[in-house]
Amino acid sequence: MSTPSPFVHLHVHSHYSLLQGLPKVPALVKRAKEYEMDTLAITDYGSMYGCIEFYKTCKKEGIKPIIGVDAYMAFRGMEQKDHGIDNKRYPFTLLAENHEGYQNLMKLVTQSHVKGFYYRPRMDKELLRKYSAGLICLSGPVFGEIGQAILTKNMDRAKDLVAEYQDIFGKENFFLEVMFNDHIEGLETINRDLAELSRTTGAPLVATHNIHYLDADDREAFDTLLGVSTSGTKIGSGFMRGNFTFTSGDEMTELFKDYPEAITNTRDIADRCNLEIDIDSWYFPDYPIPDGTTYDEVLRENTYAGLKAREMEQTDEVTERIEYELNIIKDKGYSSYFLIMADLVRAAKDMGIYTNTQ
């Protein structure tokens, strides 16, 4: 690969952005290689379903993966769910800078689904303060909290919001997103206001493109996808219109020629994001066993004890089959998993919870 593009896409949706993203992970990574990009982010809406597939595919193809989420900020608290009020939400982008950030991202996404889900999985600032370490935050599109303040010319509100996000994530970890989209009226004015906000608050600009499909020819298929997400409603001119293609680095540099620092900052963020995920090791809960024994030995002991408890005859054929199965489990490193599952089934039966085992 020749000299990589100075621009890095940090706001990218795959088909794991359910009913709102079109490209599959291998296609995204392939396009990044075609454009000589050495780094790429994934930021699906409210979820991390595609992160491991994305991580593996990027690593295989020599692309550095950045794991992120296009998250939703609750209009009020994330556990408030009043109709007509809390169905409003603000998108913003989170990127994992390191392994701590990756773990915190998983915690945030989990809580946004378990406690904050109302139309969409939502977070709030109280939760962000708890799990902000290791994360880089981008302010989101014009529909985001800061974007809406600027759109309504409430610059004092926008400054207060920047200060709040800087306090949550740290000044060096919060960026103002600038975008170009030929369908959003007045976006150039909004970008100029964002640049002024950057100068007054010290929050740096970063250029993103909010990818939802690869090529312009995919627009019709994307509209169909959005139609499914809105129960067959015809997509109007004001809903997700414009250009959401996978643009090249040269195109982005030209679009943001008046904001060169916004391009440079994509590379600076990419250089800071260095996440390594151990996908080759097994991680199981700690299952206590007697000192001086192994999981393999305890599983073998329990297996033969179960044979006796069921009053089954221990023939040569039965013994041969048991040893065959135990050796497979041992070779795969799964003995602790079987002990844990047996313990769960035992506890369920003790509590009167139905199981499909005898």
Tens digits of residue pLDDT in 110-142: 999 999 999 999 999 999 999 999 999 999 999
Q: What separation in angstroms does the CA of 314 have from each of 81, 96, 319, 322, 325?
A: 60, 54, 6, 10, 15
Question: Using CA atoms, how far apart are residues 74 and 86, in angstroms rounded to an integer?
Answer: 7
> Among 155, 189, 10, which Cα is nearest to 93's?
10
- pLDDT > 70? residue 22: yes
Report the percentage of the chain scoring pLDDT > 90: 84
Q: If you average pLDDT over residues 218-233, what whole number do you get?
A: 83
Q: How far is residue 280's CA from residue 288's CA, in Å, rounded to a whole number?
A: 24
Weakest-pLDDT range from 71-85, 147-161, 172-186, 292-306: 172-186
CB 145 within 8 Å of CB 152: no
Q: Of 178, 244, 229, 174, which Cα lies nearest the Cα of 12?
A: 244
Alpha-carbon distance of 170 to 158, in angstroms, equals 17
pTM listed for this prediction: 0.86
CATH superfamily of 25-272: Metal-dependent hydrolases (3.20.20.140)
CB-based contact 38:4 (threshold 8 Å): yes
pLDDT value at 341 more than 90? yes
Tokens 């295989």 appear where?
60
**298: enclosing H helix or E strand:** helix 295-309
What distance separates the 2 farthest-apart alpha carbons in the chain?
A: 83
Q: CB-based contacts of 60: which residues, under 8 Å, 6+ apart?
A: none
What is the predicted pLDDT for the residue at 234? 54
Of 1-10, 106-115, 152-161, which range is least confident? 1-10
d(CA 21, CA 30) in angstroms, rounded, equals 17
Task: Say how many residues make up the chain.
Answer: 358
CA–CA distance from 253 to each of 7, 207, 260, 262 (Å)? 7, 9, 7, 9
Mean pLDDT of 270-274: 98
- The answer to whether 44 and 16 are in contact (CB under 8 A) is yes
pLDDT at residue 238 above 60?
no
pLDDT at 236: 52
Q: Residue 16's pLDDT band (boundaries 50, 70, 90)?
A: very high
The DSSP result for 30-66, as a single string, is HHHHHTT-SEEEEEEET--TTHHHHHHHHHHTT-EEE
Q: What is the pLDDT of residue 227?
A: 85
pLDDT at 1: 47
Q: Where in the chain is the domain with CATH 3.20.20.140?
A: 25-272
- Mean pLDDT over 58-64 rounds to 97
Q: What is the pLDDT of residues 257-269, one digit of tens each?
A: 999 999 999 999 9
Pairing mode, if any, of strands 89-96 and 174-178?
A: unpaired
Residue 188 vs residue 183, higher pLDDT? 188
Please report the pLDDT score of residue 239 as a whole number: 52
Residue 191 has pLDDT above 60, yes or no: yes
What per-residue confidence (pLDDT) applies to 237? 46
